Structure 1
Amino acid sequence: MSKAVIVKAKRSAIGKENGFFKHLEVQQLLAPLLRHLSEGIEEHLNDVILGNIVGLGGNIARLSGLQAGLPLHVPGLTIDRQCSAGLEAIRLACCLVEAGAGDCYIAGGAESVSTSPFEKRARFSPEDIGDPDMGLAAEYVAKTYQITRDDQDEFAELSYQRAWESLETGFYKQEILPIEGQTTDEELVRKRDIKRILLRAIPTFIKNGSVTAANSCSINDGACAVVVMSENKAKSLSLQPILRFVDSEVFGVHPFFPGIAPVFAIKGLLKKRNLDIRDIDLFEINEAFASKAVACAKELGIPYEKLNTRGGSIALGHPYSASGSILVTRLFYEVQQRQDCRYVIAAIGSGGGIGLAMLFETCI
């Protein structure tokens, strides 16, 4: 069986809703990434697999590939697993490589909430079960897993601190492909007094709650994708593998608690591979809400020094389908900065109560 490896990864800067990317549709965000990532390997591409959940419809992957000027033989597949879509696209590409269906894919996701035609979100769960908005579900996680407002604000402040440090040291430059000249995530364009903002924020979703706009992510535009190849194909093209796919797990929980779903996916993944939390050197778990990140860390016993070490979506924003692929891209560049990484995990929870986790080992 041919092992799947990741050899390239790039993302756009992340824009605010109706911010600097407000005039770009999804395919216009994706096309520069696809053009860049495919350079030199155009004729080897088997497919482009992309997640998108609030776009204009149609096959965004095919549309984006054509707009990028990819060869006509590259078909394009668009998938929707809500916020897990970008990570699922990478998972699917890895599984296709290992099944022998192909040996070269671009996979990721993108979202343009600014140009989305939808005024309301899709339904995640039927009425007889209940379909809470994600902020309310974050409150349910906080209450059930005893995550306090202080716990959430502390983590949110840490996310911002790490994001600013990563910006100031130039870490994000290697991740970001400039699109329309934008090289900095819009949330970081102007430095703010986050401690003061956290203290003054009021509960957003329920009276006397603990989830606020300050300890939650924003709504954003952005795109991200990676190149997944068989290890043999990468070697034949003289491309350096950085992350090698090991295994994955997807798991469903009650739709009231999507924020805790990554815990079960990660536990199942580690059990399959006879590994322990202590064997994993880095975790990237989509934040979305601080209650989710803190609950996952608490339930799994993940120390904060191993979790989202460069900041996350609370500080940078959450462009839905792109977020899962951003987790992998973050790991792609972070492991190249370290000498002590063997195993890393990317995980995300999404609407409807779905958790997805991917385990990689480093190749360098």
Structure 2
Amino acid sequence: MSDPVIISAVRTPIGTAKHSLRDLTVEQLAGPVVAAAVRRTGLDAATVHDVVLGNCLGPGGNVARVSALAAGLPDTVPGLTVDRQCASGLAAIDLSAQLVRSGAGLVVAGGVESASTAPWRFWPPVGDAEPVRYERAPFAPTAADDLDMGLSNDLLAAEAGVTRARQDAYAARSHALAVAAQQRGAFADELLTVAGVDRDDRPRAGLTPERLARLRPAFREGGTVTAGNSCGISDGAAAVAVVPAETQQRLGVPGLRILATATSGVSPTRPGVGLVPATRLALQRAGLTLDQVDVIELNEAFAGQVLACCDELELDPDRVCREGGALALGHPWGASGAVLMVRLFTQLVTRGQGRHGLAAIAAGGGMGVAAVVERIP
């Protein structure tokens, strides 16, 4: 059994839905990053064992297989599409690690989402009624448990005692950090230009807590979650190349050893807290504490949700997403977990800013996925 090691990582820019990447379908987003992830390894594309991609709202038909073909990989390379909602991209990387531990060679894993081109669906008519637009997937079997993400995370923030002021300050921080990172070229090594787009759409300069405080609650009367302290609906793709440790050593390249992963379930009414038990379990399996982790990337679906999770983990929020997170960059659902891993690769491997990293993300339905990695020479 060999340790899985990530030796390349790449992502598209993240486009706000209906903006810069609006015309690109899922395979047009994922194909280039799959190809780039393989190309950056220096390995022959014919050695790819599998392509595993997360996706939530695509056209079906096995997005991973279609993307592998769009990437120009040999038709002998299969594909597997994973749907663990927002955690799909990180779940795909988890599965790739298991494949490598089971004897696979090069596996490309990640995720993709094109909210802009996702097909419209309709419930069939009942009797003489007209078809009804299918707005979203159910997250739980009963209406009482099937809350919208915004409402459930607004309630989570209230129960955790996370104030509106803290949420707006954290959201403003995310944008400020992302803008500063853009300006100094911090994302350059991980970004792949697609359709002429070479930078993330969403980060905004000058977005202060005072400006955010003017926005009205978006999901309930008297709530604290607004459009300003929530992530944006987005398009994008990300992929990593995972190989056995022996291959990484033979190539003589640095990488991220996947030390441990974990997936957990929580109440479907409070899905945003799902990353907490997953984080704890992944750290336990890795034999580490949060104090020993150098770079922490949590998916910022909602500022209140991230802060509630940090409070429960006794984690200083200033240690999280130090170059901005999904609040500023956007949240391309099926890709977001993979984006976290790409961010870890850039900071730990490309720049050498520490040894250990943590990626964690919560998902609709009440789940969380986490992964702990270690930089190796």
Which of 55, 58, 64 is equivalent to 2:58? 55
Partner of 1:125: 140
CA displacement at 1:124 relative to structure 2? 0.8
Task: Measure, in 1, the Cα distance between the counterparts of 2:227 and 2:376.
Answer: 39
Q: Distance in 1 between matches of 2:196 and 2:86?
A: 27
Q: Paired residue for 1:172, among 187, 197, 202? A: 187
Q: State the partner residue of 1:109.
A: 111
- Asked if the contact 1:45/1:104 (under 8 Å) is kept, the reply is yes
Q: What TM-score do the two structures reach when normalised by structure 1?
A: 0.96
Tell me which of 195, 198, 203 is aligned to 2:212. Answer: 198
Deviation at 1:275, TM superposition (A): 2.5
Aligned residues: 361
Change (3 A) 1:89 1:165: same
Write the letter of the residue equivalent to 2:306. Answer: A
Greater mean deviation of Cα atoms: 34-43 or 223-232 = 34-43
- Aligned residue type for 1:8: S
Instruction: Report how far residue 239 of structure 1 moved.
Output: 5.1
Q: Does residue 216 of structure 1 match 2:230?
A: yes
Q: 1:271 maps to what in 2?
A: 284
Match of 1:154 among 169, 172, 178: 169
Q: Given residue 359 of structure 2, which amino acid in structure 1 is its aligned partner? A: A
Q: RMSD over aligned Cα, in angstroms?
A: 1.5
Give secondary structure in 2 for the equivalent of 1:235: helix
Question: In 2, distance between residues paired with 1:210 and 1:249?
Answer: 31
The residue type paired with residue 309 of structure 1 is R
Match of 1:299 in 2: 312
Aligned residue for 2:188, secondary structure, equals: helix
Task: Decide whether the 8 Å contact of 2:50 with 2:108 is kept in 1.
Answer: yes
> What is the CA–CA distance in structure 2 between the aligned matches of 1:184 and 1:234, rounded to whole Å?
30
The CA distance in 1 between the partners of 2:319 and 2:268, in whole Å, is: 28
Which residue is 1:12 aligned to?
A: 12
How far 1:129 moved relative to its partner?
A: 4.8
- Secondary structure of the 1:267 match is helix
Query: CA–CA distance in 2 between the matches of 1:255 and 1:271?
Result: 24
How far is the alpha carbon of 1:339 from its aligned partner?
5.0
CA deviation vs aligned residue, 1:40-74 (integer Å, no higher than 9, x gap): 42021000000111001111111111112111110
Amino acid at match of 2:220: I
* TM-score, L = length of structure 2: 0.92
Match of 1:247, SS? strand
CA distance in 2, matches of 1:178, 1:352: 34
Contact 1:284 1:307 in 2 (8 A): yes
- 5+ unaligned residues in a row in structure 1: which ranges? none
Q: Determine whether 1:315 maps to 2:317.
A: no
SS of 2:175's partner is: helix
In structure 2, the residue matched to 1:207 is 221
Whole-angstrom CA distance in 2 between matches of 1:164 and 1:157: 11
Could you give the per-residue CA deviations for residues 236-284 of structure 1, whole angstroms, max 9, x where no partner exists?
3x25132101111111000111111111111122233442221212211
Cα distance in 1, alignment partners of residues 69 and 262 from structure 2: 32
- Contact in 2 for aligned 1:197/1:214 (Cα 8 Å): no
Whole-Å separation in 2 of the counterparts to 1:193 and 1:93: 38
Shift of the alpha carbon at 1:128? 5.8
Alignment of 1:334 with 2:337, yes or no, is no
Alignment of 1:241-252 (within 5 A): 241-252=254-265
After TM superposition, the structure 1 stretch with the greater mean CA deviation from structure 2, 303-312 or 32-41, is 32-41
Counterpart Cα distance in 2 of 1:175 and 1:194: 28
1:105 deviates by: 0.6
Contact 1:159–1:310 under 8 Å retained in 2: yes
How high is the sequence identity, in percent, across the aligned residues?
A: 40
Query: Deviation digits for residues 331-356 of structure 1, max 9, x if unmatched?
Result: 00011365562221100000000011
**Other-structure match for 1:350:** 363
Secondary structure of the equivalent of 1:46? Answer: strand
Partner residue in 2 for 1:79: 82
Query: For each residue in 1:153-209, what CA deviation from the matched residue of structure 2 results, as whole angstroms up to 9, or x when unmatched?
Result: 111111111101100110011111000111111113x63534443021110000110
Provide, for residues 304-338 of structure 1, a one-character-per-residue CA deviation record: whole Å limited to 9, x for no partner: 33211110000010000110000000000011365
Task: Tell me, yes or no, if the aligned pair for 1:285 and 1:307 is still in contact at 8 Å.
Answer: yes
Contiguous gaps of at least 5 residues in structure 2: 121-133
Q: SS of the counterpart of 1:71?
A: coil
SS at match of 2:264: strand
CA distance in 2, matches of 1:51, 1:322: 6
Moved more, 256-265 or 38-47: 38-47
